[in-house]
Amino acid sequence: MDNDFAKKVRDAAIAGWWTVAISTAFLSISWFAYLAILSARPSWMLALWGQDMSWSTVQGVGLWAMAVFRICLYVMVAVVVWLSLWARRLGRK
């Protein structure tokens, strides 16, 4: 039974690392898209956000969204590191 549990923890750690890798790629692509949109400042972007929006509001909301996603990614990395270390310890026993 312990061997099955150790395998499940190891598989969870592997799945977590894949999730971290995909999330990091998504965050990088989002950041470059954010920079491209802010440098181009297309008029359709403000139309998507609404009539009373300004570019400073769009910039602030975008930065906050990236910051919150990055903090969530740091928490996810901490959990996956803990899972990896736990799986390694279970594998030794």
DSSP letter string over 10-67? Answer: HHHHHHHHHHHHHHHHHHHHHHHHHHHHHHH--HHHHHHH-TT--HHHHHHHHHHHHH
pLDDT tens digit sequence for 3-48:
899 999 999 999 999 999 999 999 999 999 999 999 999 999 999 9
CA distance linking residue 84 with residue 89, whole number of Å: 9
- What is the pLDDT confidence band of residue 75, given thresholds at 50, 70 and 90? very high
- What is the pLDDT confidence band of residue 72, given thresholds at 50, 70 and 90? very high
pTM metric for this prediction: 0.86
- What is the pLDDT confidence band of residue 57, given thresholds at 50, 70 and 90? very high
The residue ranges of every structural domain in the chain are: 2-92
